[in-house]
């Protein structure tokens, strides 16, 4: 909220040098203005039935003069003059232009708000500057003209989106709001800038045309309402917004009340924070009173997270879904910002926000901030909820060398812990697809998986995506088997995974499968033993085969593949004078340690024998 300004003890900051007054004279004029306003209000209260016009409330007149000093006095006097002239029109039969003179005073009051202020950048000057920059860039040899054109186009689109704030007077009014509250005013359905533009246009036209008393009266009432909206003391605005938010929904007139009270994002956030009845939300959206997130100010709608999001999250989710659909019409930068704000709100809605979270993170899979928020929601969700699969399907798309290990581990942990008979196939096959995609990318073969079994707990240094997802898929396969998935089915699922990773995962499945013929297990380990490196996965499958007590003749293929160890050579003999040792040493078979039940840790160097 905007703090109520204290009376200055020096020249008012908004006064120009040629209009500054000494403090006693300021107080005298302020007192006179307030007195005039109070007298007018009393007159209206006593004589309202005779059609006299309402004047500025006393508290509003005081606030106008406090904030704008001499220009504020001019505003109060101009509005009162307009009221008197309109009343004269009723009695006049001489053809004098009282109505037109009243309209002139209304425009003077409106102009006095922004007089002397520097307009905020925007409109045609910004477009011209962007065009000149574009011409300079395309004249340079080797310039990327397409990129320069994109930048210029973005400026044009931004100018089009800000068409309600591009005129000179409106830009100066925005500067006033920034000086007053540090924020831009509200735009769209609740914005005071659009009404200011309409009022200035109407009053300017009224000066050059014959204005009827009815149109002058309407302009006066609208102008007075606009000043009441902008200059009601902050404490009174807060009190009335809270009271309005506490009301149950009754009708469209309540939206009009909100328009009269809220002039900046802080006001609107306060209203949304204290809103009690969810029946307000749809009428507010239909009245264009729920703004889209803006790059330049906090999004007022997030105030719902402190109230209705807790008491009626379904209603807030329905509103957010409608805003998310509308965000498709925004430009790229504004769309990304809008959806990030909606994602933040959706994280406060529990399961009611899961669809929104899934839609947004799916639309922006490479945005790390959105990935992080979505993952944090998954960590708090029921691990068997479909939101885990949806976020996982988006986030688990890393390159084999990617090191975003925190998010990968968090998601894969939830995928495993929430696996059930109902989702086992979907989750396992999804992770298989992610691993296959990573393994097929360029450079994946250079990622060292180590020789420890894939189910060995990951260390702090195991940060590569390919290492992490291979480890978790091995665990998922074991979990799937305990949930009743046959080994033959698991082998079908992992068949598309290429290279050594696929072979080692087959080892994991064959080790636990009781529905796969023993000769198939022997054949697979035979193919694995002909490779250059023996791993813990190979060792586990060998032990499973041996535990089945196969016929010795079935294992002759292992001997044929591995060969037999050479006989020990004689002990080397040192021959004086030659400086050499002759003979000795022992050459072992690469598979001996594997068959003896020995295997290295994840960090051991590969066996190159």
- Note the residue count of the chain: 609
pLDDT-wise least confident of 114-118, 218-222, 337-341, 585-589: 585-589
> Which is nearest to 561 in space by CA: 596, 528, 603, 530?
530
Q: Do residues 328 and 464 share a domain?
A: no
Identify any residues that bridge with 574 across adjacent strands, giving them in sequence order.
581
CA separation for the pair 476, 269 (Å, rounded):
46
Give the pLDDT confidence of 505-546 residue by residue, as tens digits.
999 999 999 999 999 999 999 888 777 788 999 999 999 999
CA separation for the pair 26, 68 (Å, rounded):
11
490 half-sphere exposure, CB direction, 13 A CA radius: 29
Identify any residues that bridge with 280 across adjacent strands, giving them in sequence order.
none
Give the pLDDT confidence of 11-46 residue by residue, as tens digits.
333 333 333 333 334 434 444 443 344 334 334 443
Give the pLDDT confidence of 349-381 residue by residue, as tens digits.
999 999 999 999 999 998 999 999 999 999 999
Domain boundary at 383, 418, 447, which?
383
Q: Do residues 467 and 410 share a domain?
A: yes
Is 595 part of any domain? Answer: yes
pLDDT at 265: 86
Q: Do residues 315 and 201 share a domain?
A: no
Identify any residues that bridge with 582 across adjacent strands, giving them in sequence order.
573
pLDDT at 26: 41
Q: Do residues 61 and 104 share a domain?
A: yes
Q: Do residues 114 and 129 share a domain?
A: no
How many domains are contained in the chain? 4
Report DSSP state, residue 292: P
pLDDT at 168: 60
Is 372 part of any domain? Answer: yes
Q: Do residues 60 and 205 share a domain?
A: yes
pLDDT averaged over every residue in the chain? 80
pLDDT at 332: 79
Compute the chain's Rg from CA coordinates: 39
* Residue 607's pLDDT band (cuts 50, 70, 90): very low
> Which is nearest to 468 in space by CA: 484, 451, 456?
456
Q: Do residues 370 and 409 share a domain?
A: no
Q: pTM to 2 decimals?
A: 0.71
- The CA–CA distances, whole Å, from 187 to 38, 149, 237, 291 equal 32, 29, 18, 8
In Å, how far from its chain's centre is CA 572? 73
Q: Tokens 């899961």, residue? A: 354
Q: Which domain holds residue 308?
A: 244-383
Contact 206, 103 (CB under 8 A): yes
Domain boundary at 383, 417, 438, which?
383
Q: Give the percent of the chain with pLDDT over 90.
A: 44
> How many degrees, rounded to 5, is the angle at CA 202 between CA 196 and CA 203?
90
Q: Do residues 590 and 444 share a domain?
A: yes
Which tokens go with 397? 């798309």
Q: Do residues 95 and 148 share a domain?
A: no
Contact 590, 533 (CB under 8 A): no
Q: Do residues 424 and 543 share a domain?
A: yes
| Angle, helices 465-482/424-439, rounded to nearest 10 degrees | 150
* Residue 56's pLDDT band (cuts 50, 70, 90): confident
Give the pLDDT confidence of 79-102 residue by residue, as tens digits.
999 999 888 887 777 778 888 888
Is 495 part of any domain? Answer: yes
Is 10 part of any domain? Answer: no
Confidence check: pLDDT of 48 > 50: no
Is 6 part of any domain? Answer: no
* Residue 193's pLDDT band (cuts 50, 70, 90): confident
Give the pLDDT confidence of 225-276 residue by residue, as tens digits.
889 888 888 889 999 999 999 999 999 999 999 988 888 888 999 999 999 9
Domain boundary at 355, 383, 411, which?
383
Confidence check: pLDDT of 294 > 70: yes
Q: Do residues 288 and 363 share a domain?
A: yes
Is 9 part of any domain? Answer: no
CA separation for the pair 491, 223 (Å, rounded):
77
pLDDT at 131: 74
What number is the average pLDDT over the span 555-579?
66
Is 358 part of any domain? Answer: yes
Q: Do residues 503 and 421 share a domain?
A: yes
Is 558 part of any domain? Answer: yes
């Amino acid at each position: 909220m905007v703090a109520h300004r204290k009376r200055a003890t020096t020249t008012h900051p908004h006064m120009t040098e040629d209009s500054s007054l000494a403090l006693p004279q300021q107080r005298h004029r302020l007192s006179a203005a307030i007195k005039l306003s109070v007298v007018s209000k009393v007159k209206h209260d006593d004589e309202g039935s005779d059609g006299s016009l309402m004047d500025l409330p006393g508290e509003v007149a005081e606030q106008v003069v406090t904030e704008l000093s001499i220009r504020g006095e001019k505003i109060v006097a101009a509005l009162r003059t307009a009221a008197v002239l309109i009343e004269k029109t009723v009695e006049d039969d001489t053809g004098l232009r009282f109505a037109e003179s009243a309209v002139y005073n209304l425009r003077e009051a409106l102009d006095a708000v922004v007089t002397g202020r520097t307009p905020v950048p925007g409109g045609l000057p910004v477009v011209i500057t962007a065009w000149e920059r574009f011409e300079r860039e395309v004249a340079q040899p080797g310039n990327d003209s397409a990129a320069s054109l994109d930048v210029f186009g973005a400026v044009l689109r931004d100018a089009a989106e800000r068409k309600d704030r591009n005129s000179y007077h409106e830009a100066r009014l925005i500067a006033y709001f920034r000086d007053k509250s540090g924020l831009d005013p509200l735009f769209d359905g609740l914005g005071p800038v659009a009404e200011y533009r309409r009022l200035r246009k109407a009053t300017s036209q009224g000066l050059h045309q014959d204005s009827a008393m009815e149109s002058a009266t309407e302009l006066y009432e609208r102008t007075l309402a606009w000043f009441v909206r902008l200059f009601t003391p902050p404490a009174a605005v807060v009190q009335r917004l809270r009271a309005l938010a506490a009301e149950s929904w009754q009708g469209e007139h309540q939206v009009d009340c909100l328009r009269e009270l809220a002039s900046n994002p802080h006001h609107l956030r306060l209203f949304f924070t204290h809103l009690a009845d969810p029946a307000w939300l749809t009428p507010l959206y239909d009245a264009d009173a729920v703004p889209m997130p803006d790059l330049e100010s906090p999004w007022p709608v997030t105030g719902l997270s402190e109230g209705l999001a807790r008491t009626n999250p379904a209603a807030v989710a329905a509103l957010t879904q409608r805003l998310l659909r509308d965000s498709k019409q925004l430009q790229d930068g504004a769309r990304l910002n809008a959806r990030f704000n909606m994602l933040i709100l959706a994280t406060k809605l529990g399961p009611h926000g899961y669809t929104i979270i899934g839609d947004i993170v799916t639309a922006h899979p490479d945005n790390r901030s959105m990935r992080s928020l979505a993952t944090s929601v998954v960590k708090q969700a029921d691990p068997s909820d479909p939101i885990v699969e949806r976020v996982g399907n988006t986030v688990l798309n890393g390159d084999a060398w990617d090191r975003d290990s925190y998010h990968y581990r968090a998601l894969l942990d939830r995928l495993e812990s929430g696996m059930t008979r109902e989702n086992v196939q979907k989750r396992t096959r999804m992770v298989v697809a992610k691993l296959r995609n990573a393994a097929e990318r360029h450079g994946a073969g250079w990622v060292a998986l180590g020789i420890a079994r894939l189910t060995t707990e990951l260390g702090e240094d195991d940060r590569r995506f390919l290492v992490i997802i291979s480890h978790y898929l091995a665990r998922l396969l074991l979990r799937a088997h305990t949930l009743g998935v046959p080994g033959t089915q698991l082998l079908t699922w992992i068949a598309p995974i290429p290279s050594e990773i696929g072979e080692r995962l087959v080892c994991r499945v064959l080790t636990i499968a009781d529905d796969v013929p023993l000769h198939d297990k022997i054949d697979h380990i035979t193919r694995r033993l002909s490779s250059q490196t023996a791993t813990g996965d190979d060792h586990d499958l060998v032990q499973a085969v041996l535990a089945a007590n196969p016929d010795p003749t079935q294992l002759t293929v292992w001997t044929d593949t591995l060969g037999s160890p050479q006989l020990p050579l004689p002990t080397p003999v040192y021959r004086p004078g030659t400086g050499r040792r002759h003979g000795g040493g022992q050459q072992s078979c690469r598979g001996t340690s594997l068959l003896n039940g020995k295997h290295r840790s994840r960090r051991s160097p590969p066996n190159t024998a």
